[in-house]
Structure 1
């Protein structure tokens, strides 16, 4: 699938923009159906078909007008009873959902085509902070569950016998 077409005179923003990504099975199935429909449109258009190598086109093979795409997207949102969002917001929603499901930030960076992890980390910092709070709450719960012992915490001597030193965050020199 090409988001960019030399025939249209546009090019990717960065080298990272041109990449291969995995697609969910549902998406692949939908693309196959779309390809069949587009083949029918190509035959119906005959010599009027413009072949730009694009996946999504008008019924005559020409590029979709971004304004028409935006209007159609808004109509679909409205008919589904959803609030209006920008089409681009779907990228943010996808990344946020993946991050909340525990997908590694590097993988999300690659899917989005960000050249640097800092861009991804910065844009989704609000999600990471929420996940950090959840992680700390989980840690707190785990520590509270294991805190039913009457034994004192290990001393520095006990820690050293296990190879844990203060600089590794395991014990103090007290």
Structure 2
């Protein structure tokens, strides 16, 4: 097992949403095929995502592969780290409490997920402004 993490919170075990479980299962099957093909060159590890020889993927290679997959999927090119911004923005749009988002991402300060990673979607912004307008309108009538 790879045990070098940035912080102690980085080793937290979090439940995966059902939609996220498919990829590791598919990858495990692909890895079994790669293990057979590699034969004696295979390096046993606990990594779900590894090279074709079972070794850890180098960060630069992961970034390149991620970019290639983005292009193939027909979506704009982003870095793996950018997926954190996407996730925090989705959590905010779903009205997940900021403290819960902070815990999910292992931040010590609530400001990090809320100010740095979160981008409130324009629909949420419009909804908030409509609510504000209604509230202010009600105050004018009193």
Superposition TM-score, scaled by structure 1 size: 0.66
- Contact 2:45/2:55 (8 A) holds in 1: yes
Post-superposition offset of 1:15: 1.3
Q: Which runs of 5+ in 1 are unaligned?
A: 154-174
Cα displacement string for residues 7-27 of structure 1 (whole angstroms, at most 9, x for unaligned residues) = xxxx11111111111212122
* Bigger proportion of residues as helix: 2
1:30 maps to which of 23, 30, 33: 23
- Contact 2:88/2:101 (8 A) holds in 1: yes
- Contact 1:17/1:114 (8 A) holds in 2: no
Q: Distance between the aligned counterparts of 1:54 and 1:98, measured in 2?
A: 27
Q: Distance between the aligned counterparts of 1:124 and 1:46, measured in 2?
A: 43
Structure number with greater Rg is: 1
**Per the alignment, do residues 146 and 121 of structure 1 end up closer, same or farther by CA in structure 2, a change over 3 Å counting?**
closer
Aligned length in residues? 141
2:106 is aligned with 1:118:
no
CA RMSD, 1 decimal:
3.0
Q: Distance between the aligned counterparts of 1:66 and 1:39, measured in 2?
A: 22
4+ aligned runs moved over 3 Å, structure 1: 124-128, 130-137, 142-148
2:131 maps to which of 132, 138, 153: 138
Superposition TM-score, scaled by structure 2 size: 0.78
Q: Which runs of 5+ in 2 are unaligned?
A: none
Post-superposition offset of 1:121: 2.8
Q: What residue in structure 2 maps to residue 82 of structure 1?
A: 75
2:42 maps to which of 42, 49, 65: 49
Cα displacement string for residues 64-91 of structure 1 (whole angstroms, at most 9, x for unaligned residues) = 1222222222222223333322221111
